[in-house]
Structure 1
Amino acid sequence: MTEAPIKGPASYFPSIEKKYGRPVAEWKAEIRAGYPAKHMDLVAMLKNEHDMGHGHANALVAHTLAEDGLK
């Protein structure tokens, strides 16, 4: 039996960890520290403070907000 491929925002996680050198859990903690900011404000924070690309930042924020029931 094969596992279903990872879809959605989580599909970006391996490349995020490789490119930025930090585990996803650390990025999620940083996003949560920015609460109660809005989705796009959190994306902007990752882009501006960590030079993260828009797609990666958006995927992390979307997944974290959904995980916390804030989406």
Structure 2
Amino acid sequence: MTEQHRVTAPTPSPGEKLKGPASYFPSIEKTYGRPVQEWLDLVADRLDSQRHMEVVDWLKSEHGMGHGHANAIVAYVKAKLAD
């Protein structure tokens, strides 16, 4: 059985560059040592009850994430949930 994700991480083709907020994802994985999918899952759950900047602030304070990285993840998840 495969795990369901509300928002899935993009899977670019070889040589394809990610655009928009997803362009931060390789750096986020390298910097924080966790797969982007973990961050997307955490943020999707929080956005049920918290506003954009509350989730950004949570990523910064609880996980030591920089503002740009935190904002990119939250923006990506919000856009995908709105689709």
Category of TM-score, reference length = shorter chain:
0.7 to 0.9
Letter in 2 for 1:31: V
Aligned residues between the structures = 69
- C-alpha root-mean-square deviation of aligned residues, in Å? 1.7
Q: In structure 1, the residue corresponding to 2:50 is in which secondary structure?
A: coil
Match of 2:32 among 20, 35, 53: 20
Q: In structure 2, the residue corresponding to 1:68 is in which secondary structure?
A: helix
2:71 paired with 1:63: no
TM-score (norm: length of structure 1)? 0.87
Q: In structure 2, the residue corresponding to 1:6 is in which secondary structure?
A: coil
Q: In structure 2, the residue corresponding to 1:36 is in which secondary structure?
A: coil
Identity among equivalent pairs (%) = 54
Q: In the aligned structure 1, how far is the partner of 2:33 from the partner of 2:81?
A: 24
More helix by share: 1
Q: Which sections of structure 2, spanning at least 5 residues, go unmatched?
A: 1-14
TM-score (norm: length of structure 2)? 0.75
Q: In the aligned structure 1, how far is the partner of 2:61 from the partner of 2:26?
A: 21
How many angstroms does 1:7 deviate by?
Answer: 1.6
Single out whichever of 44-53 and 61-70 deviates more from structure 2. Answer: 61-70
